[in-house]
Amino acid sequence: MAPIASVGLTQSIWLVSGFLFFSILCQLFWKLTYFAELSVGLLILSLGVSLATVHNHQLYDSHYTQLIPVHDIQIDTLILRVNQELKPTFSSRYIVSIEQAGAETTFGKILMYAPIGVCFEVDDRLMTKADIKPISSAKNPFQFDYQSYLARRNIFGSVTVNDSSYFFITPAKTIGGWANTIRKRVFDWIEPWKLNDNSYAIFEALVLGRRHYIPQELQESFERAGVVHILAISGLHIGIIMLFFNWLLKPLHLLPYGRVISLVFTISFLWCFALVSGLSPSVTRAVGMFTLLAVSMSVNRRTKLINTLMAAAFLSLLIDPFMLYEIGFQLSYMSVLSIILFTPLIQHFWKTKHTILVRIRDALTVTMAAQIGVLPLSLFYFHQFPGLFLLANFVLLPLVFVVLLWSFVLVILGSIGFYHPVFGNFYQSLITFLIGWVDTISSADQFYFNYISFNWIEVVVCYLTIFILFRFFRKPRAQRLQHLLICIIGMLSIGVYYSYRARESEFVIFQKGQHTLIGIKHGSSAKFYHDLEDEVVKSDQTIRDYRIGTRLKSTRFQLKTKLLQFDNQLWLVLDSTGLQRSPSFPIHGLVLTQSPRLNLDRWLDSIKPNIVVADGSNYTSYINRWEATCSKKNIHFHRTDSDGAYIIRADY
DSSP code string of 35-61: HHHHHHHHHHHHHHHHHHHHT-GGGBT
- What number is the average pLDDT over the span 320-329? 85
Q: Confidence band (pLDDT; 50, 70, 90) for 615?
A: very high
* Secondary structure letter of residue 206 according to DSSP: I
Q: How far apart are CA 235 and CA 284, in angstroms?
A: 10
Residue 646, pLDDT above cutoff 90: yes
Contact 347, 361 (CB under 8 A): yes
Q: Give how far Cα 78 sits from Cα of 64, 129, 151, 576, Å.
A: 11, 6, 21, 41
* Angle separating helix axes 421-442 and 216-225, nearest 10 degrees: 60
Q: Do residues 495 and 618 both lie within one domain? A: no
pTM (whole model) above 0.85: no
State the Cα–Cα distance between residues 558 and 526, nearest whole angstrom. Answer: 11
Q: Express each pLDDT in 426-476 by its tens digit.
A: 999 999 999 999 999 988 888 888 888 888 888 988 898 888 888 888 888
Domain presence at residue 299: no
Could you say which of 139, 172, 205 is where a domain stops? 172
pLDDT, residue 366, reads: 83
Does residue 388 form part of some domain? no
64 CB-side CA count, 13 A: 31
Identify whether residues 475 and 526 lie together within a single domain: no
- Residue 38 confidence class, pLDDT cut points 50, 70, 90: low
Judged by average pLDDT, the poorest of 146-155, 278-287, 377-386, 507-516 is 278-287
CB 543 within 8 A of CB 527: no
Q: Is residue 597 part of a domain?
A: yes
Residue 540: Cβ-neighbour burial (10 angstroms; 0-12, 13-18, 19+):
buried
Q: 588 with 573: CB under 8 angstroms?
A: no
Highest mean pLDDT among 303-317, 328-342, 626-640: 626-640
For 242-370, strand residue ranges (E) read none
Phi, then psi, of 176 in degrees rounded to 5: -65, -40
* 447, 387 contact by CB (below 8 A): yes
CA dihedral angle for residue 306, residue 309, residue 310, residue 316, rounded to 10 degrees: 180
525-530 sheet: strands from edge to edge: 554-559, 525-530, 517-522, 505-509, 646-650
509 shares its domain with 644: yes
Question: Which band of pLDDT confidence, cut at 50, 70 and 90, is reported for residue 2?
Answer: very low
Do 554 and 595 belong together in one domain?
Answer: yes
Residue 113 in 3-state DSSP? Answer: strand
160-169, 487-496, 611-620, range with greatest mean pLDDT: 611-620
pLDDT band of residue 5 (cuts 50, 70, 90) is very low
Q: What's the mean pLDDT when you consider all of the chain?
A: 84
The pLDDT value given to residue 594 = 92
Inter-CA distances, 560 with 367, 508, 515, 587, 644, Å: 47, 13, 11, 17, 20
* Residue 603: inside a domain: yes
Pair (533, 574) in one structural domain: yes
Q: At what angle do helices 258-276 and 281-299 cross, to 10 degrees?
A: 180
Where does the pLDDT of residue 234 fall: very low under 50, low under 70, confident under 90, or very high at 90 and above?
confident
Q: Please indicate, yes or no, if residue 292 is contained in any of the structural domains.
A: no
Taking the C-alpha atoms of residue 335 and residue 91, their distance in angstroms, rounded to an integer, is: 34
Q: Does the residue 634 lie in any domain? A: yes
**Distances 643 to 136, 274, 450, 525, 614 between C-alpha atoms, Å:** 11, 43, 30, 26, 10
Residue ranges of alpha helices (H) inside 353-444 are 355-382, 389-415, 421-442
Task: Flag the least confident range among 153-162, 301-310, 614-623.
Answer: 301-310
> Quick one: pLDDT band at residue 589, thresholds 50, 70, 90?
very high
- Quick one: 161 and 28 in the same domain? no
Do 515 and 553 lie in a common domain?
Answer: yes
| Last residue of one domain, picked from the residues 501, 522, 556 | 501
**Which of residues 352 and 93 earns the better pLDDT score?**
93
Question: Average pLDDT of 290-309?
Answer: 73
- Residues 133 and 146 placed together within one structural domain of the fold: yes
Q: Looking at residue 323, what is its pLDDT?
A: 85
Domain count, the chain: 4
Query: What is d(CA 628, CA 589) in angstroms, rounded to the nearest whole number?
Result: 17
Q: What is the pLDDT of residues 401-433, one digit of tens each?
A: 899 889 989 999 998 888 888 998 999 999 999
Distance (Å, rounded) from C-alpha 522 to C-alpha 500? 12
Kindly calculate the radius of gyration of the chain based on its CA atoms and give it in whole angstroms: 29
The CA distance from 186 to 415, in Å, is: 8
Out of 342-346, 511-515, 548-552, pick the least confident. Answer: 342-346
CA distance 615 to 607: 19
pLDDT at 7: 42
Same domain, 576 and 614: yes
The verdict on 73 and 128 lying in the same domain is: yes
**pLDDT-based confidence at residue 3 (cuts at 50, 70, 90):** very low
At 69 the pLDDT is 61
Q: How far is 523 from 515, CA to CA, in rounded Å? A: 26
Taking the alpha carbons at both ends of the chain, their separation in whole angstroms is 57
Residue 503, phi then psi, degrees to nearest 5: -75, -20
Q: Report whether pLDDT(320) > 60.
A: yes
525-530 and 554-559 strand pairing: parallel
- CA gap 355, 73 in Å, rounded: 69
In this predicted structure, the answer to whether residue 81 has a pLDDT above a threshold of 60 is: yes
- Its domain, for residue 76, covers 64-172
Q: What is the CATH number of the domain that holds 124?
A: 2.40.50
Least confident of 34-38, 463-467, 493-497, 555-559: 34-38
Beta bridge partners of 565: 570
Residue 496 CB contacts under 8 Å (≥ 6 apart), including other chains: none
Q: Which residues contact 81 (CB under 8 A, 6 or more apart)?
A: 96, 97, 99, 123, 124, 125, 172
Whether residues 120 and 106 share a domain: the answer is: yes
Which of residues 172, 193, 209 is at a domain's end?
172
Whether the per-residue pLDDT at 94 is higher than 90: the answer is yes
Whether 133 is in a domain gets the answer yes
pLDDT for the residue numbered 435: 92
| pLDDT for residue 36 is more than 80 | no
342 neighbors 373 (Cβ within 8 angstroms): yes
Inform me whether the pLDDT recorded for 580 exceeds 80.
no
pLDDT in tens, 9-35: 555 555 555 555 555 555 555 555 555
Whether residues 474 and 568 fall in one domain: no
pLDDT of residue 103: 79
pLDDT at 303: 56
